[in-house]
Structure 1
Amino acid sequence: MTRQPDAPRHVVTSTADADTVVRRLSRDGWSVQEGFALTDAAFDVSTERLVLHGRISDPDTLQLAVLAAARGAGVVAVCDTDSPMGRALVDDLSRLGAVQLGAGPGTPAPAAADDNGTGVVPLVPEQQALLDRLAAGDTIAAAAAAEFLSLRTANRRIAEARALFGVRTTREAVLAYLRQRGTGG
């Protein structure tokens, strides 16, 4: 079975930005649907190249958006990222993979409030924990087990970290992470 690329996850602050992202994704071959409710009986919808979009205005809609993303659908959510609900949305989506903030094609969401032009690569906590364990000498399988992740999820998180650091190998990602952390290289 061919692995599908990760579905896009965007959090924007205006409907105009959402429209821009949705148009771009549509041109790239994604099917677009308004709202976050999935009616498909199959849990995994990643092969359908489906993007759901809409405004996050309450906790129930937030939950539907995160569930849709977990099932493999792309998400374009309109939400104030400075609000508690917006921060919760970005945090929850970040656990699934990279999240883009804004309409730009490559604006990764910060994993913490330290992404202020310091050159720090934003990693989600799972990525940091895995890279810490790899730096300590664990195998990917051992690191995944210690972090209560499936091997597939661990490999995906590490691949995302490689992409964020702009490197090809896991060893290079660990070294870049250690340099960023300031403890070696």
Structure 2
Amino acid sequence: MTRQPDAPRHVVANPGDADTVLRRLTRDGWVARDGFALPDPAWDVTGSRLVLHGRIGDPDTLQLAVLAAARGAGIVAVCDAESPLGRALIDDLARLGPVHQGVTEPVGGNNTVADLVPEQRALLDRLAAGDTIAAAAAAEFLSLRTANRRIAEARAMFGVRTTREAVLAYLRQRGAPPRSH
């Protein structure tokens, strides 16, 4: 079996977080499908770029999700990661590769920083140094509107809701310690 190593495996706390992750994955070319039962009889579904999603509420659903992940499907599971069922799910999925908990990428997971355009990196660097968005935009010779758009795109790439969370995620993935004010 040739399983794609970057098939996404996410465990999130609520349906809102699942929607955020699913929006990002569909933007990246994945096809979202509700439920964990695979429609394709072929064992390896890697090439279909299928991501299955739903709530994990019982051991049978957990088994379906893990089997789908083993067959190459992406998974976005809504489950309490601290519950026994959630811990079992994360342990089983971790045997297949990295498991993302929540909407942000884990350390050692996909490198969103590498996907940022240079303008986004420059803006996030300036924001991390304490500049306002307006000051960062001016320093990078961008309009405020363009700077806000680039930062919004970065928030979406990191799967976070606020600019502060985007800056922190950027610093974590870049390996730089956050500044304290």
TM-score above 0.5:
yes
TM-score, normalization by structure 2: 0.57
What amino acid sits opposite 1:46 in the alignment? T
What is residue 99 of structure 2 aligned with on the other side? 99
CA distance in 2, matches of 1:90, 1:3: 18
Deviation at 1:108, TM superposition (A): 5.0
Q: 1:97 to 1:3 in 2, by over 3 A?
A: closer
1:23 is paired with a residue whose SS is: helix
Aligned to 1:8: 8
Structure 1 consecutive aligned stretches of length 4 or more whose deviation exceeds 3 Å = 2-5
Contact 1:66–1:89, Cα closer than 8 Å, also in 2: yes
The unaligned stretches of length 5 or more in structure 2 are: 109-172, 174-181
Structure 1 position 6, deviation (Å): 2.2
Q: Does the 8 A contact of 1:17 with 1:103 survive in 2?
A: yes
Tell me which structure has the larger Cα radius of gyration.
2
Tell me the number of residue pairs that the alignment of Structure 1 and Structure 2 aligns.
Answer: 108
- RMSD (CA atoms): 2.0
- The match for 1:18 is 18
What is the deviation of 1:39?
Answer: 1.7
Superposition pairs of residues 9-158 of structure 1, within 5 angstroms? 9-104=9-104, 106-107=105-106
Letter in 2 for 1:72: G
Runs of at least 5 residues in structure 1 that lack an aligned partner in the other structure: 110-165, 167-185
Distance 1:32 1:65 in 2: 14
Aligned counterparts of 1:108 and 1:9: Cα–Cα separation in 2: 14
Deviation at 1:77, TM superposition (A): 0.2
What amino acid maps onto 2:106 in structure 1?
T
Query: How far apart are 1:29 and its partner, in Å?
Result: 0.4
Aligned partners of 2:107, 2:38: CA distance in 1, in Å?
Answer: 26
Q: Is the partner of 2:11 in helix, strand or coil?
A: strand
